[in-house]
Structure 1
Amino acid sequence: MKRALITLCLLLTSSLNAWAEPSLPKADANRLQAHLQFLAHDLLEGRDTGSRGHDIAAQYMVSQFTQLGLRPAGDNGSYLQAIPFRQAYLVQDSAKLVLKGAGGETSLEYPRQYLTSASLTSEVSQLQGKLVFAGYGIVAPELQHDDYAKLDVKGKVVVVLSGKPKSFPSEEGAHFGSGSEKNRHAAAHGAIGMITISTPLAEKVRPYQNLLNYLHMPSVSWLKADGEPANQYPQLQNSAYFSQEAAAVLFEGAPRSLQDIYTDLEQDKSPAGFALPTEIEFSKRSEHKAISSPNVAAILPGSDAKLKEEFVVYTAHLDHIGFAKTVKQDKINNGAMDNASGSSVLLETARLLSGLPQAPKRSILFLSLTGEEKGLLGADYFANHPTVPLKSMVANVNLDMPILTYEAADVIAFGANHSSLQGTVADALAKLGMSLSPDPWPEQALFTRSDHYMFVKKGIPAVFLVPGLTSMDPNVDGAKKFGEFLHTDYHKPSDELNDNFNWRAAQRFTEANLQIGLTIANDPLRPSWNEGDFFGNTFGQ
C-alpha cells in the first residue's frame, strides 16, 4: 500500500510538472529560411535607413505581424512608427584646417591627416580658437576621474585622446569614453569645438587607414518636435579626428610632447590637461537631407489580469548599410546575418508565442527597429517616444547578428551579469539542455553597442543574445566559425544567404529565444538590477 501511494504521488507530481511546464512548439526551419530569403534579397538593396528597400522590409514585417493577429503598436493604430531623420553629407573638398603656432602656419591635408564628418546642425561650419589639451575628455565621478578639473576650456577647442584609460572597467569605461559623453562634457564646460587624437592603442584596434573606408557615410540623427536633430550640441561648432602625424603638430612647442603623452598611456597614467600654444581655423560644408524611416511595433497581449499591463520587449534591427561605395562588382550589402537573421528569429518567435494555447502572463512587445547601423537611432527614438508606458517595460531581449553557421550548445547573453536576468536566462536555457556562457570578449564592451543599450539608458534591464561558441558537433570550432564571419563577411556584400547557413542552428537559437522570453514573461517577479550595479544605479528608475 505504501509503495502504491508513493507511485501515485510520483505520477501526480509528474503530471503537475507537465501541466506547469508544457512542451513548447518547435521552430520551423522552412519559415526561418523563407524570412531570410526575402529580407536578404537583392531587391531590398541592403535595407539602408530611409531607403525604399528598408520600407519594403518594414511592410514585410507588418504583413507577418498582421497574419499572426498581433495588436498594432505604432502610430495612429498602425504597426509603423514613422521617424523623421536628418541626413548630412560632407562636401568632401570643402574641409580646410590650419594650425597656427610658434613655428608659423601648418595646413593639414584631408583625409590623409585628419577626418571630419558632416555637421547635423549647420550646413556651414566655421571654427576658430585656442586649443586646450583635456586628457581623455572624460568626467567619471564614480571612477574618481575628471579630466576637466582645474581646466578652463570656455570658448576654446578641446583636444582629447581617443578611448579611455586601460584601468577603467570595460563596460563602464565604454559608457564614459563614448563620443556622446565626451561631447556632452565638452559642451557643458563651454568648449566650442573638439579634436580627438589617435593613440597607439587606437591604431592597433582600428587603424587610421581603415577609417578612410567610411569617408562617404552620412551623419544621421532623428529630429525632435522642434525640427532640430536630437543629441547634438550646436555650441561645438566643428570637430575632427587627427592621425598621429597630425596630432604631433598640435603639441609642437607645448609643455609636453605627444610622445610624452603616449608614454603616460603605456603606463596607464591619465595625463593632466594644459593649454596648447596653438590656434585652429577649421571650416567645412555639409549638405542636409530630410528622410523618414519606420520602426515596426506589435503586441501579443498577456493573459494575466495584472501582469498583462507589463511588457517583455523583443528587439531586432531591420536596417543594414545599403550599397557598398568601394566595391566594383556586387555592391549590395544584403545583411543576411546582420540582421536579417535576427529579424527572422524575431518573426518565428512571435509566431510560436502567438500560437500557444495560453498567452504568456505578461504582454510581449515585438520591435523591428530602424537606424541601428547609424547609431542605434530607431531604438533611441522609441525609448524617447514609447508607444507603451516606459515604466511598463520590464526587460528587453535583443537579437543582433546571431551567427547561424553552426549549432551552438550554449548562448551568450551580453549584459545578463548586471541584473536578475542572468539567473532567469540560465534557468530558461537549462530547460532546453543548453547553458549560459559568460561574455568571451569583455574588452569589447558589446553590452553598450547594440539597440538594447537605449533601453538600458532608460533603466530597463536587458540582454543581447547570440549563439555561444560551443558547438554541438565536437568537430566544429564555434569560436572559429564566429571569427570567420567577422573577418570575412561583416559589413561586406558577402554577408548574403548561402550554404553556410545551418538551419538546425537557426531553429535551436529561436527555441532558446522563445524559452527565455517566456520565462521572463511568466515570472511573478519583475527583473531587477543587481544591488550596486553601475548601470542600475546610473539609469535605474
Structure 2
Amino acid sequence: MQRRGSTTRRVLAVTVLAIAAPMAEASAQADSAAAAAAGTITATDLRLRIGALAHDSMRGRATPSPELDKAARHIARQFEEFGLRPADGDSYLQEYPLTASRAGTPGRQMLAIDGPGGGAIDTTDYIAVPGGRGQAAGPLVISTPGRAAPPTGAIALVRVRSEDTRGALESIRGLLEGGAIGVLLAIDGPDDYFAGIRRFYGRERLSVGVPEELGAPIALVRAGALPEELRTALAAGRGTNAYEATLRTQAEFREERAFNTIGWIEGSDPDLRGEFVVFTAHMDHVGVGRPVGGDSIYNGADDDASGTAAIVELAEAFASLETPPRRSLVFMTVSGEERGLLGSGWYAENPLFPLGATIANLNIDMIGRNWQDTVVAIGRDESTLGTALEETMIEHPELGLEMIDDPWPDENFYFRSDHYNFARKGVPILFFFTGTHEDYHGPNDEADRILYDKTARITRLIFHLGRQVADADDPPAWDPAAYRRVVEGRGR
C-alpha cells in the first residue's frame, strides 16, 4: 500500500508540474508584456502631450470654446490611431447640451417695497437669479419653505442664513408650485458674503440641459437693505401685512454644447468583458481671465492637461498589449469639470457603458506638481481598490512612489473632481492627485513647471493598477460605511 501511494504521489506531482509550468510561463509572458507596455509611458511623450494641450494657442480650453472642441477632436484622433473602439456608435465624441445663463442687465430689473420705511432698493443690494424672469406685484409675505403653505398670489420673502443659501435656492420651485408669484431671498449674513453671492450670480453660469425657466421673477437681496420693520419681522419669523412689493427681473439664456471624448478596448475574457474599468480626466480649464503680469491665458498644464495626457498615454499603453486584460477598459476625457463637473455629470446620467457593470473609476486630476515622489489617492479607504493599490505599489518598487492620505480634508477635494459623479452612482473610485499650488487657476500653470518624470511614474502606477483590477477574479468591493455615506447619502 505504501509503495502504491508513493507512485501515485509522483504521478500527481508530475501532472501538477505539467500544468503549472505553462501557466507560470504564460504569467511571466503577460508580466513581460505589461512591463513593455508600461515602458511606453514616458516623460518625453507627456511633455509633448501636455505642451500641446496647454499651449497659448489653446487659450485655456474653456467650456465651451472652439479650443476645447479642438482638444476633444485631437484626443479622438489619438484614440483612433491607437486602435481603440469609438464609444458612441461610430464616434469618439459624446455631445451634450449646455445652457449659459446670466442675470441680465441691472437697468432691466427693479425691486421696490411699499410700506413703512420702504422704497426702491438700490441695484447693488439685490441680484436676479437666472431661471426666474418677468414682473410681479403683490403682497410681500414672509415664508418658511416646508413649514407652511406657500403664499398664493403673493411674493414670498424668505430669510436665508449664509450657510443655508443652497438649500433655500432649491426650495424656490416648491414656493412657486404652491402659488407664489415671485420669490425674494433675503441673505442674512456679512456684507462681504452677499458681495460674493453677487459676483457668483453676476457671472455667466453653465448648466447641463436645455434652458429652464421658472416662470416668475426671483432675486437675492441683502437683508440689511430691507425696511427696518420688515427686517425685524423677518428675523423673528412673524408675519406682517404692512408691505407690498414689485419685483422685475430679466435673464439671458444661450444654448451651447460640449463634448466628452471616449474610446474603449474590449476585454479578452468572454465571461468578464461585459464589465468595465473607466479611466477619466478633464480636458477643460478656465480659459482666458484677468491678466497677471501681462499674461491672460490660464493654460491649465497641471489642471488638468497632466491628467488628460496621462489618459492618452494609458490608452496607448493598453492598446499595445497583444492580449488585453480580461475586463474591458474605457478611456474618457471629459469637459465642463471647471464649471461644475458637467461632462462627467452628463455621462453619469447618460452612460455609454452600464454603470452597474462599471467596476471601478480611476480619475486623474493634477498629477504634475509639488513633491517629487509623493501622490495622494483620495478614496482609497472606501473600497478594496485601496488594497489593490497598496499591492501594486509593493509589486512595483521601481516606480519610487510614496502614497499618502489626503492632507487637505477641509478642502473637500473628494467632491470637486469627476470621480464623484461615478461614486455617487455606486462605482468604486480612486482619485489620483498631487495637490494645488501657487499657480492653481492662474496663468502661470504652464507646461514648463510640470515634473515630467514624476508624472510618468504616476501614470505607470495607474497602468499597473488598472491591469490588476481588470484581471482580478472579483470586482472591487465597497466598504459598507463608505457606501452608506457616499452612495446613499447618509452621514456625509
TM range (shorter): 0.7 to 0.9
Conserved? CA contact 1:195–1:239, under 8 Å: yes
Conserved? CA contact 1:133–1:276, under 8 Å: no
Match of 2:187 among 197, 212, 231: 197
Asked if 1:332 corresponds to 2:282, the answer is no
How far the C-alpha of 1:31 sits from its partner, in A, is 0.8
- Residue in structure 1 matched with residue 450 of structure 2 by the alignment: 501
Identity %, equivalent residues: 27
Q: Which amino acid aligns with 1:336?
A: A
Trace 1:283-362 onto structure 2 (pairs within 5 A): 283-324=248-289, 329-362=294-327
Match of 1:522 among 468, 471, 481: 471
- Residue in structure 1 matched with residue 231 of structure 2 by the alignment: 252
For 2:117 and 2:460, how far apart are their aligned partners in 1?
66
Asked if 1:100 corresponds to 2:113, the answer is yes
Asked if 1:218 corresponds to 2:218, the answer is no
- Residue in structure 2 matched with residue 158 of structure 1 by the alignment: 158
How far the C-alpha of 1:19 sits from its partner, in A, is 6.1
Match of 2:58 among 33, 36, 44: 44
Q: Structure 1 length normalisation: TM-score? A: 0.73
Asked if 1:421 corresponds to 2:393, the answer is no
Q: Structure 2 length normalisation: TM-score? A: 0.80
Q: Which runs of 5+ in 1 are unaligned?
A: 138-147, 165-175, 258-272, 468-481
- Residue in structure 2 matched with residue 65 of structure 1 by the alignment: 79
How far the C-alpha of 1:303 sits from its partner, in A, is 1.5
Deviations 1:140-166 (A, max 9, x none): xxxxxxxx3x444455343332336xx
| Equivalent position SS for 1:416 | coil
Conserved? CA contact 1:158–1:186, under 8 Å: no
How far the C-alpha of 1:344 sits from its partner, in A, is 0.9
For 1:163 and 1:503, how far apart are their aligned partners in 2?
41
Closer, same or farther: CA 47–162 of 1 in aligned 2, 3 Å? same
Instruction: Give the stretch that moved more between structures: 89-98 or 331-340.
Output: 89-98
Closer, same or farther: CA 531–380 of 1 in aligned 2, 3 Å? same
Deviations 1:415-441 (A, max 9, x none): 333333332333333434444432222
How far the C-alpha of 1:338 sits from its partner, in A, is 1.7
RMSD after superposition: 3.7
Trace 1:261-272 onto structure 2 (pairs within 5 A): none
Match of 1:91 among 104, 121, 130: 104
Closer, same or farther: CA 354–275 of 1 in aligned 2, 3 Å? farther
Closer, same or farther: CA 107–538 of 1 in aligned 2, 3 Å? same
Asked if 1:78 corresponds to 2:108, the answer is no
For 2:440 and 2:122, how far apart are their aligned partners in 1?
30
Q: How many residues are treated as equivalent by the alignment?
A: 457
Q: Which amino acid aligns with 2:470?
A: A
- Residue in structure 1 matched with residue 433 of structure 2 by the alignment: 466
How far the C-alpha of 1:290 sits from its partner, in A, is 2.2
For 1:250 and 1:301, how far apart are their aligned partners in 2?
68
For 2:291 and 2:141, how far apart are their aligned partners in 1?
36
Conserved? CA contact 2:299–2:445, under 8 Å: yes
For 2:141 and 2:172, how far apart are their aligned partners in 1?
16
Q: Which amino acid aligns with 1:462?
A: I
For 2:362 and 2:184, how far apart are their aligned partners in 1?
36
Closer, same or farther: CA 518–283 of 1 in aligned 2, 3 Å? farther
For 1:508 and 1:234, how far apart are their aligned partners in 2?
50
Conserved? CA contact 1:81–1:294, under 8 Å: yes
Conserved? CA contact 2:325–2:467, under 8 Å: yes
Trace 1:343-382 onto structure 2 (pairs within 5 A): 343-382=308-347
For 2:101 and 2:61, how far apart are their aligned partners in 1?
19
Say which one has the larger Rg: 2
- Residue in structure 2 matched with residue 113 of structure 1 by the alignment: 125
Closer, same or farther: CA 157–245 of 1 in aligned 2, 3 Å? closer
Closer, same or farther: CA 189–362 of 1 in aligned 2, 3 Å? farther
- Residue in structure 1 matched with residue 395 of structure 2 by the alignment: 431
Conserved? CA contact 1:45–1:334, under 8 Å: yes
For 2:381 and 2:229, how far apart are their aligned partners in 1?
42
| Equivalent position SS for 1:418 | coil
Match of 1:234 among 206, 214, 230: 214
| Equivalent position SS for 1:252 | helix
